[in-house]
């Protein structure tokens, strides 16, 4: 009897289950009627891509070594009153004892008062140790209470267009801001606020705004490859920013460490990069190089016998001087891009010798030039 009761109850439960799962509306079986939103049935954690993890790790490390710089210069107005003129910018520590790289224009002015604010909000007065106005570079120093985190300097000579970069700084006073992008171009020449040409600049689309000046431009390993320097136009970022290659700062730093007065080298020529069909059209070797457009009188280049153009032709919308020397290699390294000369000079100082391999009138020769000192 008990066996039959068990079978009867089982049949009832099975029948009820079949009814409920086939007759009730589909939506009621999926979720309670009170639910007014939809989503995954199982909560999932937010996954981060490899690139995002890379950005986060670099920021956590580099932000602690990036500083905010405030300068105050006292000026006289039209009414003979002395008023303070305050400016802000960025910089980054390159040593545990408080040495900081930044732009010269961030700490420019006559006897400026320079204040540095670290990531932990501690503040210090800074002194200017050395300047390189032509490359818009400056080295300043604070005396921190403890050893500080600093950034490693990379090699800007190996940078390629399309390479990922990260910029950290204090745009519009918003400290600790990270932006990312790529290297858009190399070897750009731009004018600073005083009209002085800054050569061999790296162009990037990483957002750079007022206040970013002097901050680090980093590669995906967290090495400093440039110093954020300028933006195109007078306003905010439009996707075209410029950074000074870090290798241009290394000679200045080496001279300071050795107790030497830094003197930027000078060759005394203006050049244009030509190659391929354009070079052949000018009856030059197809591999091209740097075609000399001007040799300054009394310069090291003039003393070494380098020759400028003998006549001018129109190429597109530009006039190009032809008939002068074509520099095809510098110190044995072939010229393969427009900023080859500025890159080579960034590793030298006044008094050094450089060897130029040139093409002149269809003949090849080598010319040694003793570099002079630039008049900054």
197-222 pLDDT, tens per residue? 788 889 999 988 888 889 999 999 99
Task: Quote the tokens at residue 280.
Answer: 């052949």
pLDDT at position 75, please? Answer: 61
Residue range 317-343: mean pLDDT, rounded: 89
What digits encode the pLDDT tens for the residues 93-149? Answer: 999 999 999 999 899 876 678 999 999 999 999 999 998 888 899 999 999 999 999
For 17, the 3-state DSSP assignment is: helix
pLDDT at position 31, please? Answer: 46
Q: For residue 320, count other CB atoms closer than 10 A to its CB.
A: 16
Partnered with residue 358 across adjacent β-strands are 327, 365
* 255 catalytic per annotation: no
pLDDT band at 57 (very low <50, low <70, confident <90, very high): very high
Residue range 163-181: mean pLDDT, rounded: 89
The answer to whether residue 248 scores a pLDDT higher than 60 is yes
Catalytic residue among 108, 156, 184, 213: 213
Mean pLDDT of the chain: 83
Structure-model confidence comparison of residues 281 and 83, the more confident one:
281
Catalytic residue among 90, 105, 219, 359: 105
Residue range 161-185: mean pLDDT, rounded: 90
Buried (b) or exposed (e) across 80-118, using 16+ Cβ within 10 A?
Answer: eeeeeeebbbbbbbbeeebbbbbbbbbbbbeebebbbbb
Task: Quote the tokens at residue 323.
Answer: 């008939």
pLDDT at position 5, please? Answer: 53
pLDDT at position 21, please? Answer: 53
Residue range 172-188: mean pLDDT, rounded: 88
From start to end of 177-223, where are the E strands?
A: 177-191, 197-204, 216-218
pLDDT band at 173 (very low <50, low <70, confident <90, very high): confident
Helical spans, DSSP H, in the chain:
2-23, 26-30, 50-62, 247-257, 276-281, 300-303, 340-345
CA distance from start to end of the chain? 112
- The single-letter DSSP state of residue 337 is S
pLDDT at position 263, please? Answer: 77
* 299 catalytic per annotation: no
Beta strand pairing status for 265-266 and 372-373?
Answer: antiparallel
- The single-letter DSSP state of residue 260 is P
The answer to whether residue 39 scores a pLDDT higher than 60 is no
Task: Quote the tokens at residue 117.
Answer: 């604010």
Is residue 347 classed exposed, middle or buried when 0-12, 13-18 and 19+ CB atoms within 10 A define those classes? Answer: middle
* 61 catalytic per annotation: no
Angle at CA of residue 70, ends 236 and 97, nearest 5°: 120
Tell me which residue of 334, 302, 332, 308 sits closest to 320, measured CA to CA: 308
The answer to whether residue 1 scores a pLDDT higher than 70 is no
Structure-model confidence comparison of residues 29 and 69, the more confident one:
69
Catalytic residue among 136, 219, 325, 339: 136
Of 39-48, 209-218, 281-290, 363-372, highest mean pLDDT? 363-372
Exposure of 269 in the CB half-sphere (CA atoms within 13 A) = 29
């Amino acid at each position: 009897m008990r066996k039959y009761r068990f079978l009867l109850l089982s049949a009832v439960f099975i029948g009820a289950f079949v009814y409920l799962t086939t007759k009730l509306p589909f939506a009621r079986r999926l979720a309670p009627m009170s639910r007014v939103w939809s989503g995954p049935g199982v909560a999932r954690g937010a996954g981060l891509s490899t690139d995002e993890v890379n950005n986060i790790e670099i920021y956590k490390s580099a932000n602690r070594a990036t500083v905010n710089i405030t300068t105050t210069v006292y000026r006289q107005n039209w009414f003979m009153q002395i008023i303070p003129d305050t400016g802000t910018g960025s910089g980054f520590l390159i040593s545990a004892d408080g040495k900081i790289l930044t732009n010269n224009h961030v700490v420019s002015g006559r006897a400026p008062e320079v204040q540095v604010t670290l990531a932990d909000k501690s503040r210090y007065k800074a002194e200017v140790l050395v300047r390189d106005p032509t490359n818009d570079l400056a080295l300043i120093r604070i005396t921190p209470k403890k050893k500080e985190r600093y950034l490693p300097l990379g090699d800007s000579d190996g940078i390629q267009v399309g390479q990922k970069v990260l910029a950290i700084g204090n745009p519009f006073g918003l400290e600790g801001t990270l932006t990312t992008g790529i290297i858009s171009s190399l070897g750009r020449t731009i004018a600073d606020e005083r009209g002085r040409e800054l050569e061999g600049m790296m162009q990037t689309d990483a957002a750079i705004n007022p206040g970013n000046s002097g901050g680090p431009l980093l590669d995906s390993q967290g090495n400093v490859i440039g110093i954020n320097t300028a933006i195109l136009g007078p306003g905010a970022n439009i996707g075209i920013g410029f950074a000074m290659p870090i290798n241009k700062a290394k000679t200045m730093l080496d001279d300071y460490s050795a107790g030497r007065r830094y003197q930027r080298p000078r060759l005394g020529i203006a050049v244009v990069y030509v190659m391929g069909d354009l070079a052949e059209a000018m009856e030059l070797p197809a591999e091209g190089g740097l075609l000399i457009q001007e040799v300054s009188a009394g310069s090291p280049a003039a003393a070494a016998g380098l020759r400028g153009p003998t006549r001018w032709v129109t190429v597109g919308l530009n006039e190009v001087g032809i008939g002068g020397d074509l520099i095809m290699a510098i110190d044995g390294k072939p010229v393969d891009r427009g900023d080859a000369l500025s890159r080579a000079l960034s590793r030298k100082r006044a008094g050094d010798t450089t060897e130029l391999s040139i093409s002149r009138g269809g003949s090849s020769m080598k010319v040694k030039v003793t570099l002079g000192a630039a008049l900054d």
